[in-house]
Amino acid sequence: MTLPTPSPSSSSAPSTAIKPYSGLRVMDMSQGVAGPYCAMMLAEQGADVIKVEPPTGDWSRVLGQQVDGMTPLSFAYNVGKRSLCVDAQSDQGRELLLQLAAGADVVIESFRPGVMERLGLSYAALSKDRPDLVYVSVTGFGQDGPYVDRPGSDSTLQAMSGMMVANRDGQGHPRKVGLLVADISTGIYAMQATGAALYRRLAHGMGAHVDMSLLDVAAAFQNGAIVDQALANWNTVTPYSVPAGTFKTLDGYINVTSLHDRMFVGLCKAIGRHDWMTDARFATAANRFELADEIYDTLHRMFREQPTSHWLAVMREHGVVCGKVSDYAEFIDDPHVRHRQIFREGRAPGFGPVPIARLPGALSEFTATRSPRCGEHTQEILDEMGINSEAQRALIAAGVVVGREAGPT
């Protein structure tokens, strides 16, 4: 895979080389996707993010394809971090973490409520000496309530929040969205809340405990659809427009949407159905809802007669919203995507080159191209903490910390 090298002259190039979070220290104790993604976005904007892992590593390191302790998930959401491997169950390990937390501006964790308190690393404990600390807790169901002790996963929250019903198939069967929508969106909302807390800290000197849950995010993410159905008295919601959907072409698929009357006229011209333009039955959106079966049957039949490139050209000529249905490889190779320099080439240890999407709207260039192996920076971080070589060897011998060489990329 060859990706374009970013150029300062590109319209998508960052407006300044100053990273907004330069000088910020983040202690990332979270695992999985949501918390790590939040921390990774902070790293992308200049923060020094130390990923703290147990001797067994972040549990994302054992999900899916695995090579030498790296998986697609552990790579994708930890780019640009440094990894410190510590046994938090030991007294010495907890002391190390307390020392690290004392120098952190932000602490991110994703354990069930009560775990950090037992480790002596809760917000209440740490904020006594650091009232300006920004502390982010990412959980399935939040810090209180009847479900506070329940484990929560992306699929659990997709099921519970109505997302699977919203994504039901043509037969009405609920379906999980293929992507980790609840996890990824929680990471994004957590990043937004962390940024707001840091601004308040800068302006007013106040810290904060950000209580971020997949449950809250699943609600916020879907609020438009929830309002839509509530106004329909919880009955089946009328589609926003007809036609709107994905259609098979001679050599692939195309997605077409008619947003308003003028666009429907453009669609009629594009497919050569001028009779629909003069037929009063198709004159309004309300009428077209009633005639949906006839419209869709016709479109499914006609779109199969020409290749995707033909339909893209004629739809755009007549101002109809449309797009080719692409797989990821085609998307990355799209000329506009390449022009925007959305992806850069990363190196996944054991896997080879992989595409890394840039953070949308970032104000500075992100140059990191790989994620750390578990414990890869243990010695480096202990050096920074002022722990001498002899003490480090003793910690390693006792299993309190685990370190490893970076190895080939």
Q: Is residue 1 one of the residues assigned to a domain?
A: no
CA distance linking residue 323 with residue 315, whole number of Å: 9
Say yes or no: 119 and 217 in one domain: yes
Classify residue 12: in a domain, yes or no: no
104 burial via Cβ count (<10 Å: 0-12, 13-18, 19+): buried
346 and 327 in a common domain: no
Confirm whether 360 is domain-assigned: yes
Establish if 231 belongs to a structural domain. Answer: no
Looking at residue 351, what is its pLDDT?
A: 80
Domain span including residue 66: 25-225+342-402
Q: Quick check: is 86 in a domain?
A: yes
Task: Tell whether omega for the bond before 243 is within 30 degrees of 0, i.e. cis.
Answer: yes
CB distance 102 to 128 below 8 Å: no
- Point out the domain boundary residue: 311, 332, 353: 332
Total number of domains in the chain: 2
What lies within 8 Å, CB to CB, of 183 at 6+ separation is 32, 33, 34, 37, 154, 214
Same domain, 271 and 397: no
Residues 328, 346, single domain; the answer is no
Judging by beta carbons within 10 Å of its beta carbon (0-12, 13-18, 19+), is residue 397 exposed, middle or buried?
A: exposed
304 falls within a domain:
yes
The number of C-alpha atoms within 13 Å of 249 and in the hemisphere containing its C-beta is 21
Q: What is the CATH number of the domain that holds 150?
A: 3.40.50.10540
Q: Give the span between the Cα atoms of 84 and 337, in whole angstroms.
A: 36
State whether 37 and 116 are in the same domain.
Answer: yes
Residues 74 and 171 grouped into a single domain: yes
Structure tokens at 195: 């940024």
How open is the CA angle 11-14-16, to the nearest 5 degrees? 130
Of 332, 360, 393, the residue that ends a domain is 332
**What residue ranges of the chain have pLDDT lower than 50?**
6-11, 409
What is the CB-side half-sphere exposure of residue 6 using CA atoms within 13 A?
18
In angstroms, what CA-CA distances link 303 with 80, 137, 308, 352? 45, 49, 8, 40
Determine contact, residues 146/152, Cβ cutoff 8 Å.
no
Show the 3-state SS of the chain.
CCCCCCCCCCCCCCCCCCCCCCCCEEEECCCCCHHHHHHHHHHHCCCEEEEEECCCCCHHHHCCCCECCECHHHHHCCCCCEEEEECCCCHHHHHHHHHHHHCCCEEEECCCCCHHHHCCCCHHHHCCCCCCCEEEEEECCCCCCCCCCCCCCHHHHHHHCCHHHHCCCCCCCCCCCCCCHHHHHHHHHHHHHHHHHHHHHHHHCCCEEEEEEHHHHHHHHCHHHHHHHHHCCCCCCCCCCCCEEEEECCCCEEEEECCCHHHHHHHHHHHCCHHHHHCHHHCCHHHHHHCHHHHHHHHHHHHCCCCHHHHHHHHHHCCCEEEECCCHHHHHCCHHHHHCCCEEEEEECCCEEEEEECCCCCCCCCCCCCCCCCCCCHHHHHHHCCCCHHHHHHHHHCCCEECCCCCCC
pTM of the model: 0.90
Residues 185 and 60 in one domain: yes
Does residue 7 lie in a domain region?
no
- 34 plus 135 within the same structural domain: yes
Q: What is the pLDDT of residues 21-67, one digit of tens each?
A: 999 999 999 999 999 999 999 999 999 999 999 999 999 998 888 88
Are the CB atoms for 4 and 341 separated by under 8 Å? yes
- Of 284, 304, 332, the residue at which a domain comes to its end is 332
Residue 8 lies in a domain: no
Q: Give the CATH number of the domain where residue 273 resides.
A: 3.30.1540.10
Apex 352 CA angle, 360 and 84, nearest 5: 70
- Same domain flag for 355 and 386: yes
Phi-psi region of 2 (alpha: psi -120 to 50; beta: other; left: phi over 0): beta
Residues 322 and 349 in one domain: no
Please state, as a whole number, how many other Cβ atoms lie within 10 Å of the Cβ of residue 159. 16
Q: Are residues 146 and 31 in the same domain?
A: yes
- For residues 43 and 183, state if they share a domain: yes
